[in-house]
Amino acid sequence: MSGATVAVLLLGGAFGAGVGRLVRLPMWPLTGALVGGAVVHTAVGGDMTVPTWWSIVAQVLVGAAVGATIVPGIGRQFRAVLLPGLLAVASIIGVGVLCGLLIAATGRVSPVVSVFGMVPGGVGEMVAAATALHADSAVVAGMHVLRLVAVLSMLPVLVRVARWLARDRGTEPEGPDGGDAT
């Protein structure tokens, strides 16, 4: 990818994030940049892929940011949600596979594409796995982008509803420091 193409892609992502912030898009840095990058990619067309090291650097930055949120005592809280969390993950994977198989049954995409497009996981990892199986990785990426935007758009509303329900029952969880989680 040429330097000019990289610059255009970065500008598209930055512009998308800026517009996302202005229109109060949920999780605007991610969803806005994602939409901006997708718009640039579809407008420019061709073989526009980012260097592998970009993905690695992005994952290291996200990992470090998430790691910085870990506080003493988190293990105790984690043990309390381990079993329900594992059940939730297994359910989500099962539902993703089932939905993928239902989509494949329509005959519009292959089972590999539909399952890899519907199961949770990193976009890069699912696209790489689909590519390794000689599946249409562009469709897998598109399905993940749509799923990600939908989840990130609905999540703030769902969190507000969960907090409202918890307060209504007097079960609002405590934050890591023992105070209110809000």
181, part of any domain = no
Q: What is the pLDDT of residues 99-132, one digit of tens each?
A: 999 999 999 999 999 999 999 887 778 888 888 8
Cα separation, 94 vs 96, in Å, equals 5
Q: What is the pLDDT at residue 21?
A: 94
- 40 and 94 in a single domain? The answer is no
- 122 and 38 in a single domain? The answer is no
Query: Do 54 and 30 form a contact (C-beta atoms < 8 A)?
Result: no
Q: What is the pLDDT at residue 129?
A: 85
Is the predicted pLDDT of residue 173 greater than 70, yes or no?
no
Query: What average pLDDT score do residues 14-21 get?
Result: 94
Residue 33: alpha-carbon gap to chain centroid: 12
Structural domain of 105? 76-172
51, part of any domain = no
- 103 and 142 in a single domain? The answer is yes
Rounded to two decimals, the pTM is 0.60
Is the predicted pLDDT of residue 180 greater than 70, yes or no?
no
